[in-house]
A and B are shown apart, each in its own frame.
Chain A
């Protein structure tokens, strides 16, 4: 421009108004779509809170500690379901954590050839893809009949303990726990595997270099270095176990009578919702919404804690 030669060649191209408009409206569109996530969350909260207001006013906090569920008399208490949700998911975690972490170590450490490890990894991932309702069907017709003699044996042997005090009659809490183990194992294995893979090789080499055995290195160096990711994965699995519906509904027996025995039929919040929500009316809908609110808060706390743990504990190796 300063030299005065062909000024239009270097002049700024003016963006046509159509292009500007398209740019702006596309940006606005993505903002609107992104805010839908917040709207849906808000909608879920409002729907469940609004729906449970009636039951909240009528039963108050006693809803959480009483266990009579009587649609005829109009008395509702969700203690059996809340206890069932907590006991099934915690017991499932107790079994699945050693299994999942053990599997993750086995398929990340150099114990067997790489090809076999990869195949095992894919198989565990495919297990996560099988729909819950198919696992439920399998649990009803294959797992539970196979399991019943074992559980009966357990009852005969340890029947003096309150946890095994009833005769197993088919569906119950124990088979539900086992099917939950099958459902959360892939999550724990996959996340533990990722965190084990992220441990820098130098740590491993250093451990082997000072003469540690394989499991000395794994137990004292590698697992502690990966513990944040593993803990986060375990918390996510806990959230998933508490919300898991179909397989548990099909195998837990759906009984509202409270029993300490793991061999007796029980209930979880989600199985109660799946079973009764469609046919409920009046106060029962509201009581079910109240139970749904409790479930939502439980899973919310667990999931937020999982995110916090991963963020807080994650060691930065870069």
Chain B
């Protein structure tokens, strides 16, 4: 047996490579701290600055005229719920349907490849371009009963943003369903429609729901597609064919106003929006855990 010099097999912190190792570990720790820092700072500011303003009155009143005090973000809160609901009602059927086509019907042909590619491309289209598209398609042409800016146009613009996420999660969730389930259902004489709606979709429900909740949360915070489709309104929502307020556009509009009252309303709206979105993310996380057990 060869003999090693004393200490050759023990850890020596003074070695150049061990020094180097410690240096890199420290650097990675600093990078991680820097990456987490903005989240902490933003959350602390929004929660403290916005949270201290929240009251029932603030959530139920109209925003004040420029220069006046008081008021609330009630119309924007209702508006965000309406626009997001319209977007979900369009995007969920379209997204789940396309996902079902990709995972259950397509046989990897050219059309399916095109749809998958198109989904990825659409997911990468900047949100402001979605706004320009719906402006050109619906607002400028006054497609809905001669109305230009409308809640419906805003909802459709958000739906365009949501669809790729819903397609991808549905496609991937259905691919994870065991083939034995499909064969079993078809084997006992179920039609393809019954197999999909009664067996495979329910089996993939939790991951699909996770994706949908995340897509809705993202849509609720989007501003760029709304600023020239749904516009803004200082009044309560008035039907789906009129301009409608939303919290994200309220934050954008009020943040650059020189009035203290408007700026505090922007912080309050940020608080409500961030709390809603974080709650949705926690819900999605919980649903995701549910699907893994």
Contacts and interface: CB of A to CB of B under 8 A. Distances in A.
Contacts of B125: 41, 44, 243, 296, 299-300
A87 interface: no
Interface in A92-147: 98-100, 102-103, 105-107, 111, 120, 122-127, 129-138, 140-142
A126 B275 CA distance: 12
B183 interface: no
B55 interface: no
Nearest to B270: A134
Contact of A33 (B98, B192, B252): B98
A216 B164 CA distance: 40
A90 interface: no
A43 interface: yes
A276 B4 CA distance: 75
Nearest to A22: B193
B166 to A, nearest CB: 11
B292 interface: no
A33 B119 CA distance: 12
B278 A34 contact: no
B62 interface: no
A130 B222 CA distance: 10
Interface in A271-299: 273-274, 277-278, 288-289, 292, 295-296, 299
A136 B121 contact: no
B218 interface: yes
Interface string B111-140: 110110111111011111111110111000
Contacts of A239: 124
A99 B34 contact: yes
Contacts of A127: 35-36, 38-39, 42
B217 interface: yes
Nearest to B282: A126
B191 interface: yes
Contacts of B132: 47-48, 51, 273, 277, 288-289, 292
A245 B224 contact: yes
Contact of A102 (B27, B120, B252): B27
Nearest to A27: B105
Interface in B181-232: 189, 191-193, 196, 217-218, 220-224, 227-228, 231
Contacts of B46: 134, 138
Contact of B124 (A29, A38, A47, A299): A299
Nearest to B96: A33
A43 to B, nearest CB: 6
A19 B94 CA distance: 23
Contacts of A213: 17-18, 20-21
A179 B18 CA distance: 36
Interface string A22-60: 110011011101111110110110011011000000000
A243 B135 CA distance: 18
A13 interface: yes
A229 to B, nearest CB: 15
Among the interface residues B117, B126, B256, B270, which one has the most CB atoms of the partner chain A within 10 A? B126
Contacts of A295: 126, 128-129
In the A-B complex, the 6 residue pairs with the smallest Cβ-Cβ separation, listed nearest first, are: A243-B126, A131-B221, A102-B31, A33-B97, A303-B124, A30-B101
Given A26-B192, A29-B97, A30-B100, 12 more contacts: A31-B101, A31-B105, A33-B98, A34-B111, A37-B122, A38-B115, A47-B132, A106-B32, A111-B29, A134-B221, A137-B267, A246-B224
5 contacts: A30-B104, A132-B223, A136-B255, A142-B41, A296-B129
Interface of B: 17-18, 20-21, 24-25, 27-29, 31-32, 34-36, 38-43, 45-46, 93-94, 97-98, 100-102, 104-106, 111-112, 114-115, 117-122, 124-133, 135-137, 160, 163-164, 167, 189, 191-193, 196, 217-218, 220-224, 227-228, 231, 248, 251-252, 255-256, 263, 266-267, 270, 273-274, 277-278, 281, 285
